[in-house]
Amino acid sequence: MPPRRRLVPHTATLADSQQSWLRNFLEYVANERRLSPNTCFAYRTDLIKFYRWLGSRSITELTVQDLSEYAVFLKESQLSPSSVARHLTSLRVFFRFLQGQGVFQRNLAELLGSQKLWERLPIVLTPGQISRLLVEPREDVDELWIRDRAILEFCYATGCRASEVVNLKLEDVWLDRACCRCFGKGSKERIVHLGDAAIDAFRIWTSESRPIILQKAEMRSLNDDAALDVSSRTNEKRLGKKNATVRSPYAFVSRSGKKLRREALWELVKKYALRIGAPKTISPHTLRHSFATHMLQGGADLRQVQEMLGHESIATTQIYTHVDTSRLKQVYRKNHPRA
């Protein structure tokens, strides 16, 4: 018999331990705390940057001075103040998790001072710019102009976040009631109302353009299958179903009939915003800011706008009162006895 190979026990290295801490933390925030995928992705991105800065050093041996140097490193990486604050918050939460796991007794990251952020007012489009933006998708230029108009109308009419728009399902849109159901951060559900323009654009999209896109996507899929196996009887039967369509539960789909990506929505808004001469920083969130500001300008109550936006705290909504100074002046003149 051949000699038995001697088994050498694997000794866990420092790098192995620290990588397992990161994996356990990401599993914790995703499965136990059930945070949104975007939040989990942000934690992962921030902590990977921290690990790269850390190198071969041990987390347990870091001092407050070391963590202060990391904060300086983030500032020198040309990150915005809000991004630096987010990275440090991710680090504090990660260290708090490690403290709960008994890795160390004291969370030194809590001693890092919070970044003092300049209060930045959101960019808002004027009603005139919004009007031009909503009709910018044109039949003679844009292949998916019906879909794009419906998306822009929906974003502005509801003030929904980009993730809420791409995850919207057909079953959650009730045109007969002029509203829809959205799931925001933390899967919190809220009912959002729709205006006539958004309803008309959405009805045209779902009745005319969307079925054609899905049917073309199905035919491309069938042709691809047939190319793989021309002699297959199954493919021949499937190719005979000319009216077959891809079944997608999502309200807005891509050219391939799949769920619209969040990045694609950003690119879509930027494309049409640049055409009307709007700043390059325009994004789907700009339409959300514009929705809130224009609602306040029209006389909506701050609490009502908070509910429509899905904000947990009214302090988040109050920033729009700084954008709309004309409303503040109007309220002052109406209510102050010596205005």
The DSSP annotation for 207-244 comes to: IIIHHHHHHHHHHHHHHHHHHH-TT-HHHHHHHT-TT-
Active-site residue, from 44, 96, 132, 185: 185
191: enclosing H helix or E strand = strand 189-193
Whether 289 sits among the annotated catalytic residues: the reply is no
**Which one is catalytic: 190, 270, 275, 285?**
285
Give Cα 126 distance to the centre of its chain. 24
Known catalytic residue: 311?
yes
Residue 316 dihedral angles phi and psi, to the nearest 5°: -70, -35
Active-site hit among 149, 288, 289, 327? 288
Q: Which of 149, 161, 210, 294 is catalytic?
A: 161
Pairing mode, if any, of strands 189-193 and 179-183?
antiparallel
Given the residues 70, 92, 320, 327, select the one marked as catalytic: 320
What are the beta bridge partners of residue 126?
none
Residue of 24, 273, 265, 295 whose CA lies nearest to 159: 295
* Catalytic residue check, 288: yes
Q: Taking Cα atoms as reference points, which of 119, 58, 129 lies closest to residue 85?
A: 119
Catalytic residue check, 294? no
CB 182 within 8 A of CB 158: yes
Burial, 172: exposed, middle or buried (Cβ in 10 Å; 0-12, 13-18, 19+)? middle
Provide the annotated active-site residues: 161, 185, 285, 288, 311, 320
